[in-house]
Amino acid sequence: MMNYFFRAIRFEFAKIFGSRAWWIIFGIVAVIQPLLALVEAMSLAQIGITATPETHPQLAVALPPLDYFGFDVILFGQAAIVVLGGIAGASIYRSQELKTTLLGLNKRMGTFLSKLSAVLVAGIAVSFISVFITISITHIGLGNQGLDPLILSPVAWQFIGYATLDWVLLIVLSFGIGMLSRNAIVPLLFMVPQVVGLGDYLAQKWEWGGYLPVAAGNLLFAIPTDTYPHDPVKGGLILASWTVVILFMAAYFFVRRDVGGRY
């Protein structure tokens, strides 16, 4: 059984790392996102990290403490990692690939767990690398006003962990929705509008809006303010609950549903 499971995981890793979509998304979050962080940091370095809206009218709000610089840019990559999860979840249903997979690996739950394991490991890798590079590049852009880009600070490392956890849970949630719906479009329609602002808007306007997955996940690494709390326990539990429920549903229907016909 274990030999089968590890063989299946290797098979799924080969499909993920051989996918053009995976490398495109990795490039977006590990190259383009840090470049955006660098541009923002260099702009802030010119006016000084102690600048306020009173001294610099171009600032809409006061700058956060130094430990939190760069985490606002992390929101840019959320849409990309949601796409990554959705594609990974739905890809097995493209071109009758599932039939071929089950011919070689004839255990449905094992196939599901191997695919989930591969997505989880790939998600952890791409999330941590992207978040760490983004924060490090931010402090490089700040010059001598920033933290050491490799050592950073305990608070910065803590928030890197929170942001990585948020991304991983969003990837796995999107993966589960993709497998459940057999379509990559469904997780995008559900998740991307939340990522681009609808989630936080509903959280502010509607009592239950804060229980949507993206808005809840943002509580993990939100910069603490009077109007937007940093509540990693609440945010993590809500997002993890969404993820676990969707994965159970995806696993149940993956094992039970017929793979024949058009899908």
Closest alpha carbon to 134 in 160, 113, 109, 114: 160
Q: Is the pLDDT of residue 126 over 70?
A: yes
The verdict on residue 104 lying in a domain is: yes
pLDDT digits (tens, 9 = 90+) for 174-183: 999 998 988 8
Question: Does residue 118 form part of some domain?
Answer: yes
Q: Predicted confidence band at 261 (pLDDT cuts at 50, 70, 90)?
A: very low
What is the reported pLDDT for 171?
95
% of the chain residues with pLDDT over 70: 88
Burial (CB < 10 A; 0-12, 13-18, 19+), residue 129, is middle
The answer to whether position 262 is within a domain reads no
What's the pLDDT at 262? 46
> Please, which pLDDT band fits residue 197 given cuts at 50, 70 and 90?
confident
Kindly report the number of other CB atoms within 10 A of residue 49's CB atom.
15
Structure token digits, residue 7: 């063989």
The residue among 179, 186, 183 whose CA lies nearest residue 248 is 179
263 domain-assigned: no
Q: Looking at the domain assignment, is residue 49 inside a domain?
A: yes
Residue 248 lies in a domain: yes
Which residue type is seen at 38? L
pLDDT at site 263: 41
| Segment 48-69 mean pLDDT | 83
Q: Total domain count for the chain?
A: 1
Mean pLDDT of 37-58: 86
Domain assignment present for residue 133? The answer is yes
For the cut 80, the answer to whether the pLDDT of residue 97 exceeds it is no
pTM (predicted TM-score):
0.89
- Which is nearest to 71 in space by CA: 176, 220, 209, 178? 220
> What pLDDT is stored for residue 106 in this prediction?
57
The more confidently predicted of residues 57 and 190 is: 190
* C-alpha closest to that of 194 among 179, 210, 181: 210
Q: In which domain, by residue range, is 173 found? A: 2-256
Is residue 75 in some structural domain?
Answer: yes
Residue 206: per-residue pLDDT: 81
Most confident of 11-15, 53-57, 122-126, 251-255: 122-126
pLDDT at 250 over 80: yes
